[in-house]
Amino acid sequence: MTGTSITMEDGTLNVPNNPIVHYIEGDGIGIDISPVMIDVVDASVAKAYGGEKQIHWNEVLAGEKAFNATGEWLPKPHWTPCEPAWSPSKVH
């Protein structure tokens, strides 16, 4: 995965020019909405920042899609990259 993690330091959110953003496609209409949302957000970021910033999207498997792919509804290996952001020590 390319990109840089978003961090929080001394209560300040640090967002790099190439942040990694984890997302869950979800069940239901998520399969239709997620790709369009990513295209719209990418186009907005490109226009707003003149190509200097770019989001690196990382899908985290959950729900029916995860179950069909792995046999688990919430497979642990797919959540591991998110754990540093969710660590209680990182929340201020």
Token pair listed for 16 = 């790099």
What is the mean predicted confidence (pLDDT) over 6-23? 93
Domain coordinates of the chain in residue numbers? 20-82
| CA 53 – CA 19 distance, rounded (Å) | 8
For 32-90, write each residue's pLDDT tens digit. Answer: 999 999 999 999 999 999 999 999 999 988 888 899 999 999 888 767 666 665 554 55
pLDDT at 92 over 90: no
Backbone angles phi, psi at 24, to 5 degrees: -115, 120
Calculate the average pLDDT of the chain.
87
Contact (CB, 8 A) for 58 and 24: no
State what percent of residues in the chain have pLDDT above 90.
57
